[in-house]
Amino acid sequence: MITNEEFEIPDDSPFQNDKLNRELISENLEKIIVSASGSLVLSIDASWGNGKTTFIKMWRKKLDKTDRYRTLYFNAWENDDCGDPLLALISGIEEVLNREHEKPYIAKIKETGKNLLKKAIPTLLKIATSGIVDITDTNLDDPAKSYIIEGAGKLGEFELYKEQKISKDKFRKALAEYQENENRKVIFFIDELDRCRPTFAIETLEKIKHLFNINDFIFVLALDKRQLSHSIKTLYGQGMDSVGYLRRFIDFEFVLPEPDRSTYTDFLLTKFELRNNNTQYFELYLTVAIKAYDLSLRDIEKLFYYLKLIVPITPLFIRNIPENQDYTQIYLEVLGAIYAIFPVLKIKDNGVYRKFVNRETIDNGDLMTMYFEDNDRLAKNGRSIVGNILSINNMFKTTNMNIVSSNGFVIGNEGGYQDNRFNMLFLLDETKTAFSFIKQLEFIDNFVIPNREN
């Protein structure tokens, strides 16, 4: 239960576990690719953590089920330490080709690709002009390094440029020959471009547009356009028209619709078996808190690392609470709100959460949960629950706990409870100077929480 395994994408049914209903999007995007003539660069735009990577991996597997395409996945962020994106792109092409039967036009791509890397103009020029970059920094094998050093000594800058152009033309012709013989569209899925160094991201876009501008070569870029635009501005200045600049490289832009977070939350509650007869209010308040704090899919995933550890050790799971009693319903609602709202607060507003940990005075305005948008019973009770917890927290340093012991909790008449007074002392630890649920959440911090980047 502690390990959150990699999202499973079955080969025979790639969208089987798609809880965001995005298969139709992939089908419509495929129609655009099929109808496109020439080369095409398509961007899939969504903010960080909203499922771009999972979507394109599912889509790629679906395309691979047919014999109409050759696909390649390239994680730009994992390769931006290699200096030149051309090296990583060609290596990716070669990896795909190595899985195919050797044919003359396939061998030609490998040969011209390696030759192009050896004569890569940025590396040669830097070595030929005062040795700004140490040759040991390049990710080439020893024979290639020897070739570069030798070439740099014999050729001037103009000759180097001419050789580079010849190698580039040969490589492009080899790619075109491959496509004509295979009669398939070649689709490159490039991921995490917005997380790269700005120079690497821009060089990748330039290579795509100029070197791979070949008939039926398709590039699908998964990116956060806003973040990538910001990176470009850090390189060229805040006055730079970064959006217009990106249009030079991208033919079509598709904005991935905002995910249905309620559906995803429901799926994870079932997956991690966080439901029983006592968790009705927990589930309701969890949905409200996720909406109030605008959690992304990645935020929700991180949240469930905490929930799958903390919830099973709460009274919601370890106590047999009688049903159909007014007091019991209030008890379950208070617990449900606490174990839904405070883990969300811990992830999205840790500064305020730390005030609870340190028992510091907190102002009502610090808590977004005090301002749930929905003007219904659940929202009113949520504000009331958190407000009472906040009041008790602020008493820790200003009064003695005898006052707290007589401080009842009014949950509101909307719930229809006959007895509206409820003692909050059960939330405190044995010292009556701290909240026991805060101690539980802090206990969870001693576990190493995995940090997935997909």
Find which of 121-125, 134-138, 244-248 is predicted with most confidence, using mean pLDDT.
244-248
Residue 13: pLDDT band (50, 70, 90) is very high
Residue 7 lies in a domain: no
Count of Cβ atoms closer than 10 Å to residue 302 Cβ: 21
Residue 1 lies in a domain: no
- Pair (160, 74) in one structural domain: yes
The answer to whether residue 59 scores a pLDDT higher than 90 is yes
Residue 4 lies in a domain: no
Q: Which residues contact 63 (CB under 8 A, 6 or more apart)?
A: 30, 69, 71, 187
* Total-model pTM: 0.66
- Pair (385, 291) in one structural domain: yes
Q: What is the mean pLDDT of residues 298-307?
A: 89
Q: Which residue has the higher pLDDT, 396 or 156?
A: 396
Query: Which domain-ending residue is among 228, 255, 282?
Result: 255
The answer to whether residue 61 scores a pLDDT higher than 80 is yes
Pairing of strands 185-191, 217-223: parallel
The pLDDT of residue 397 is 64
- Pair (83, 195) in one structural domain: yes
- Pair (238, 123) in one structural domain: yes
For the chain, what is the radius of gyration of the CA atoms? Answer: 29
Helices (H), 293-400: 297-310, 315-318, 326-348, 350-357, 377-395
The CA-atom distances, in angstroms, between 333 and each of 10, 33, 44, 314, 387 are 39, 51, 41, 13, 14
The answer to whether residue 14 scores a pLDDT higher than 90 is yes
- Pair (143, 290) in one structural domain: no
Which domain does 434 fall in, by range? 261-444
Residue 370 lies in a domain: yes
Residue 398: pLDDT band (50, 70, 90) is low
Residue 449 lies in a domain: no
Q: What is the mean pLDDT of residues 87-93?
A: 78
The answer to whether residue 403 scores a pLDDT higher than 80 is no
Pairing of strands 185-191, 69-75: parallel
Average predicted confidence (pLDDT) for the chain? 77
Q: What is the mean pLDDT of residues 69-92?
A: 81
- Pair (379, 328) in one structural domain: yes
For residues 147 and 159, give the distance between their C-alpha atoms in angstroms, rounded to a whole number: 15
Residue 436 lies in a domain: yes
Read off the tokens for 16.
């089987």
- Pair (141, 119) in one structural domain: yes
| pLDDT tens sequence across 15-30 | 998 878 899 999 999 9
- Pair (239, 309) in one structural domain: no
- Pair (294, 424) in one structural domain: yes
Q: What is the mean pLDDT of residues 230-251?
A: 84
Residue 203: pLDDT band (50, 70, 90) is confident
- Pair (187, 102) in one structural domain: yes
For residues 38 and 114, give the distance between their C-alpha atoms in angstroms, rounded to a whole number: 25
The pLDDT of residue 64 is 92
The answer to whether residue 141 scores a pLDDT higher than 60 is no
- Pair (57, 175) in one structural domain: yes
The answer to whether residue 5 scores a pLDDT higher than 50 is no
Maximum CA pair distance of the chain?
94
Task: Tell which residue, 417, 438, 390, has the closest CA to residue 331.
Answer: 417
Residue 34 lies in a domain: yes
- Pair (111, 156) in one structural domain: yes
Q: What is the mean pLDDT of residues 127-151?
A: 43
Query: Which domain-ending residue is among 200, 230, 255?
Result: 255
| 416-452 residues labelled b (16+ CB within 10 A) or e (exposed) | ebeeeebebeebbeeeeebbebbebbeebeeeeeeee
- The CATH number of the domain where 148 resides is what? 3.40.50
Query: Which domain-ending residue is among 237, 255, 273?
Result: 255
Residue 429 lies in a domain: yes
The answer to whether residue 3 scores a pLDDT higher than 50 is no
Of 125-139, 186-200, 316-330, 392-406, the one with minimum mean pLDDT is: 125-139
For residues 21 and 55, give the distance between their C-alpha atoms in angstroms, rounded to a whole number: 10
Read off the tokens for 391.
């009041």
Count of domains for the chain = 2
| pLDDT tens sequence across 331-387 | 888 889 999 999 998 988 888 889 888 888 887 777 765 556 655 777 777 777 887
